[in-house]
Amino acid sequence: MLEKIMIKLIKSTFYNEDEMKSSLADFILNAQILSMGEQCKNIENAFAQKQQRKYAVFVSNGSVANLLLVQSMINLGFIKKGDKVGFSALTWPTNVMPLIQLGLEPVAIDCELETLNVSPIRFKEQISGLKCLFLTNVLGFCDALPEIKALCDQENIILMEDNCESLGSKVNGQLLGNYGIASTFSFFVGHHMSTIEGGMVCTDDEALYESLVMGRAHGWDRNLSESSQQALRRSSGVDDFYAKYTFYDLASNYRPTEINGFIGNAQVRYWDEIVSKRESNFKTFQSAMKSNEDFYQFDLSHMDIISNFSMPIICKDSNMAKKYRGKFDEIGAEIRPVIAGNMTKQPFYKKYVSNSSDLPNSDLVHSNGFYFGNNPELTDSEINELCSLIQS
C-alpha cells in the first residue's frame, strides 16, 4: 500500500503567505478606508504596466470581469442582442454564461489536442455569421493566436480574450491577453496571482475603458476623469447636484475592496518569479510525460513563454484515463477534470442553448483528460513524485 502524501492543487492563499498575511493585518489595522480607493487605483496602474496595456479596471472576480466586458461591449453598441459570439468549447462556465445572460448567441468552437486551444482551422469551421470571438487562452497555452487575430481582422470579427488562466504567457513576443480589444484576468486563489477574490479587464480602447469603469459601479460617472464627467453631464443635460445620482447605462456593482487592492500591489511584484516557476515546472512535467505513449503529446513549440495554470494529461482512451486518475488518487495527489470539459455537455448550457456543433476533441478531453496542480510553491520532491506518475 502506497503512503498518501497529499499534493494539493492549491498550496496557499497567496504567494509568500506568511509575510503577506502579516503585512495585510497591519494594513487593515491602519487603513482609514477599506472600500475601493487608492490601493485599487495603484494595482490598476501596476497591472496595466506589467501587461503592457493602456488601461486596467480592477473588479471583484474573473467571472464578473467577463460579464462586465460583455455588458460594456453591448452598451457601446459594438455587439447587440442576438449576435453570434464564438467561444472556446473547452473553457470555464463563466466565460460563456455572460453571453447567455446578456442575450447573445454562443457558438462553441472545438480545441486542438496538441494545444487544447482553438486553432485557425477550428475557428474557420464555425466562423460564418460570427460578430465576435470570446476566446479563452486555456491553461497558459495558446494555438496560433496571431493568425486567429489576423482572421478576425480580415472578417471584421471583434476578438476578446479570457486570459484568466494565462497570465504571463507569450507568443510571437507578445503577452497573451494583448491580442484582442480587451482581455480578462482572475485573481482567485490558485490563479497565477491571487488577491483572494479579484479580477481585471485590460484594454487600450479609451471608450471601452470608460464604459467598463461606469459599468463596474452602478452606471454612474463618479470614477471617470473630470473632463469625461463634464462632457457626459453636458451631453445629457445633468446638473452638478443630480450628477451624483445619474446612471448612464446598464451596470451593476463589481467593485473590489482596498483589501484586494493591497494584496494585489504586493503580489504583482512576484509576477516574473511566479511565471518562471510555473513555466519551469511545466517543462519538467512535459519532459516526464514525453515518452509515455498512453498520452496525447502537446506541441507548444510556437510559444515564447508557457505560464502554465495546471498540468493537463489527455489519455488515449477512457480506460487509461481511469488507470492514471487512480494512480493520482492512490497517493493523494489532487486532480480535476480539464476545466469544464466539453462545455456544451454542461446542464446549464443544454438548458439555454439549442444550437449544437460537433466537438470531437473537446469530447475526448472531457472523457479522457484530467489535470493536476502546477503552482510556484511545489517542492522538488512533490515535482518528482508527480513526474513518476506520468512517466512511461
Ligand X SMILES: Cc1ncc(COP(=O)(O)O)c(C=O)c1O
* DSSP, res 3: P
Range in contact with ligand X (rule: CB under 6 A) among 4-12, 24-32, 144-152, 161-169: 161-169
Minimal CB distance residue for ligand X: 62
One-letter amino acid for residue 316 of the chain: K
CB 134 within 8 A of CB 85: yes
- Of 98 and 210, CB closest to ligand X: 98
Give the shortest CB-241-to-ligand X separation in angstroms. 37
* 3-state secondary structure at position 27: helix
Among 115, 119, 126, 136, binds ligand X (CB under 6 A): 136
The distance of closest approach from Cβ of residue 186 to ligand X in the complex, given in angstroms and rounded to an integer, is 3
Segment interacting with ligand X (CB under 6 A) among 23-31, 89-97, 266-274, 319-327: 89-97
Pick 40 or 288: Cβ nearer ligand X: 40
Query: 209 phi and psi, to 5 degrees?
Result: -55, -50
CB of 165 to ligand X, least distance (A): 5
- Confirm if 320 and 308 have CB atoms less than 8 A apart: no
Of the residues 44, 162, 210, 279, which one makes contact with ligand X according to CB under 6 A: 162
342 is a contact residue toward ligand X (CB under 6 A): no
Helix (H, G, I), strand (E, B) or coil at 18: helix
| From 145, 152, 164, 208, residue interacting with ligand X (rule: CB under 6 A) | 164
User: If binding is defined by CB under 6 A, does position 199 make contact with ligand X?
Assistant: yes
Q: Which of 195, 133, 140 is nearest to 164 (CA)?
A: 140
**Can you read off the three cell numbers belonging to residue 169?**
504567457
DSSP state of 332: T
Q: State the number of binding residues for ligand X (CB under 6 A).
A: 15
Q: How far apart are CA 127 and CA 364, in angstroms?
A: 22
State how far the Cα of 56 lies from the Cα of 184, in Å rounded to an integer. Answer: 9
What values do phi and psi take at 94, rounded to 5? -80, 10
Q: Which stretch, 62-70, 106-114, 142-150, 265-273, contacts ligand X (CB under 6 A)?
A: 62-70
Sheet of strand 303-305: strand arrangement: 174-175, 170-171, 303-305
Q: Does 310 bind ligand X (CB under 6 A)?
A: no
- Smaller CB distance to ligand X: residue 139 or 378? 139
Q: Which residue lies nearer to ligand X by CB, 184 or 211? A: 184
Does 62 engage in binding with ligand X (CB under 6 A)? yes
Please say whether the dihedral angle defined by the alpha carbons of residues 258, 259, 265 and 268, taken in this order, is positive or negative. negative
Distance CA 174, CA 284 (A): 24
CB of 228 to ligand X, least distance (A): 28
CB nearer ligand X, residue 61 or residue 71: 61
Our CB check for ligand X shows the closer of 10 and 243 to be 10
For ligand X, the closer of residues 188 and 270 by Cβ is: 188
- Quick one: which of 48, 57, 59, 63 contacts ligand X (CB under 6 A)? 63
Residues 6+ apart with CB under 8 A from 11: 373, 375, 377, 378
What are the cell numbers at 165? 488562466
| Residue 290 per-residue DSSP state | T
Binding to ligand X (CB under 6 A): which residues in 90-119? 91-92, 94-95
Length of the chain, in residues: 392
Q: How far is the CB of 368 from ligand X (least distance, A)?
A: 20
**What string marks each residue from 178 to 197 as x (binds ligand X by CB under 6 A) or -?**
--------x-x---------
> Which residues, listed in sequence order, are joined to residue 373 by a DSSP beta bridge?
310
Say which DSSP state 138 is in: G
- What is the nearest approach in angstroms of ligand X to the Cβ of residue 194? 10
**Diameter over CA atoms, the chain:** 76
The yes or no reply on residue 72 touching ligand X (CB under 6 A) is no
Interface positions with ligand X (CB under 6 A): 61-63, 66, 91-92, 94-95, 136, 162, 164-165, 186, 188, 199
